């Protein structure tokens, strides 16, 4: 028998399509940033699928927050290294 509920990846695709109306008028460089946010969400799709949250946007926001925290930590390490030179 088939699945009765869509997978998280299917839900994420639908969310991204829904937000297309928001993306379209953005400046080109912001469109690339917008696309990156959905890359972050796809990178954490396995964890989001395990969560099975009723609101598919909730794991999207958490994935974005995790990726941004990682980038902040990397930048802080680089700044600290530059300060120690």
CB 48 within 8 A of CB 8: yes
What are the pLDDT digits (tens) for 9-37? 999 999 999 999 999 999 999 999 999 99
Closest CA to 62 of 75, 74, 50: 50
d(CA 7, CA 11): 6
Whether this model's pTM surpasses 0.85: no
Instruction: Please give the pLDDT value at position 6.
Output: 85
Provide the percentage of residues in the chain whose pLDDT is more than 90. Answer: 81
- Mean of the pLDDT values across residues 40-64? 93
């Amino acid at each position: 028998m088939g699945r009765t509920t869509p997978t998280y990846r299917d839900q994420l695709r639908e969310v991204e399509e829904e937000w297309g109306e928001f993306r379209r008028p953005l400046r080109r460089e912001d469109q690339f940033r917008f696309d990156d946010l959905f890359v972050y969400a796809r990178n954490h799709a396995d964890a989001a699928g395990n969560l099975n949250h009723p609101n598919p946007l909730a794991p999207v926001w958490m994935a974005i927050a995790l990726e941004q925290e990682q980038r902040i930590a990397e930048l802080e390490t680089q700044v600290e290294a530059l300060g120690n030179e």
